[in-house]
Structure 1
Amino acid sequence: MNSAGYERLQSQVIPGYGSLARLAVALLAVSPAARAGGAEVLVAGCGTGAELVEAVAQRPDWRLTAIDPSEEMLGESRQRLGDQASIDWRQTTAEALVDQPGIAGRFAGALSVLVLQSLPDDGSKLAFLTALARSLQPGAQLVLVDLMQTSLPSLEGQLEAAWGGFQQASGLASQPAQPSQGLHPIGLARLTSLVNAAGFGDPARVFQALGFEGFLLQRRA
């Protein structure tokens, strides 16, 4: 599936998907460190490049490092963005990247959209968040968007039904996906515990559409 097809499918499955990249970049663009001209910004799990497209449009002065462990996704992203001298492309993970020379404490901001949800909570989520924190300058911010568990279990069935209805109304022809199918969502209390352990302050919620939530995290000084 090419990037256009992937983006269309995501828009049919994820409420608010069409605004996620734009919102994430807009939030980071006015953050304490990344608002400076020429700031270095990490896009972790760049996928097909939605956040990169917005970053180039909103902040053409940024110097971007785009990482993804998938060669296919990285290729789609590079094809979509074309020849951008401001983007450093790397097929790697955040955990491997931060151990490379000159990476720890390098970035003025980071974006992670729909990545953490794919990692099991067996130490993998903490390792990912810790790597992102280590890669950031003290006081720099991470915009994190993820599928979350509801804090009210009594609403879980209603939210699942609403998500199925959203997908059908969006024109998805196949059977609607279940919210956590193949994913590992966690609740806010668990997320707070993990980000604190990783080196961030408490998460500040800035977006919510059904089970999908966005947070601003700031690396502690």
Structure 2
Amino acid sequence: MSASLGYDLIVQQLIPGYASLARLAVALLSVSPLASRPGAAVLVAGCGTGAELVEARAQRPDWQLTAIDPSAEMLAAAQQRMGGDSIRWHQSTVEALQADGRFAGALSVLVLQSLADDGSKLAFLTALARSLEPGGQLVLVDLMAPERSPLQHQVEAAWLAFQQASGLNADPQALEPLTQGLHPIGEARLTALVNAAGFTDPARIFQALGYEGFLLQRRP
């Protein structure tokens, strides 16, 4: 099994709904006011092994895609998966990309959760907003902090049950980036951060246990 397919299988066994998440994210962006234009420039921030790139090519082969990831290993896996596709590849963070106003839309899946809320989350979101044209949209998906609820213990138990039912039996080292050292935040904090970064209020478009997806738009 290739590295990219192995990683994707682990994430599908870990996160409910992940198998269709890339399809949903691309579909949302493809009908947005700016990224719906033929040949629109779209950024995949934290492309990982390329799940969103595969779906983008299936739904919108006309898009001019730029894929970035700070991990050379992940970037190499995505490049291998996409073959000779004419994607612009950068081993970089979005903060270092310096792509002011270049993109009509962007996708960021399971990236913000790994950044500490010490200014790093705000810097990431601000750089994403800056990289978009005014009115450009971002699909953001991450693990979120749980709301206070007497049923939260059941939600956490259900997540473990889902993993077991999915046959998750991965090496702990493979799971570590997805389960350890994460910094989830609540929706109120997310709203404050995205507003400060230059986005409108987040609109929820996906939720599966603790994982939530939001559609954001850069303010004019």
1:126 correspondence with 2:122: yes
1:116 correspondence with 2:112: yes
User: Could you tell me which of 165, 168, 186 is aligned with 1:169?
Assistant: 165
* Separation in 1, partners of 2:114, 2:160: 20
User: Could you tell me which of 144, 155, 162 is aligned with 1:159?
Assistant: 155
Q: What amino acid does structure 2 have at the position aligned with 1:152?
A: R
* Separation in 2, partners of 1:81, 1:174: 25
1:71 correspondence with 2:61: no
Secondary structure at 2:66 match in 1? strand
**CA pair 124-153 structure 1, distance change in 2 beyond 3 A:** farther
Tell me the equivalent position of 2:82: 81
Q: What amino acid does structure 2 have at the position aligned with 1:89?
A: W
Tell me the alpha carbon deviations over residues 64-99 of structure 1, each in whole angstroms, 9 at most, x when there is no partner: 0000000000000000000012x100000000002x
* Separation in 2, partners of 1:44, 1:216: 15
Tell me the equivalent position of 1:220: 219
* Separation in 2, partners of 1:80, 1:35: 25
Deviation, 1:182, is 1.9
| TM-score normalised according to structure 1 size | 0.94
Determine what percentage of the aligned residue pairs are the same residue: 72
* Separation in 2, partners of 1:123, 1:149: 18
Deviation, 1:181, is 3.0
- Alignment RMSD, CA only? 1.7
| TM-score normalised according to structure 2 size | 0.94
1:136 correspondence with 2:137: no
* Off by >6 Å, runs of 4+ in structure 1: 175-179
Q: What amino acid does structure 2 have at the position aligned with 1:30?
A: V
Alignment of 1:24-103 (within 5 A): 24-85=25-86, 87-98=87-98, 103=99
Q: What amino acid does structure 2 have at the position aligned with 1:93?
A: T
Q: What amino acid does structure 1 have at the position aligned with 2:205?
A: V
Deviation, 1:157, is 1.6
Q: What amino acid does structure 2 have at the position aligned with 1:201?
A: T
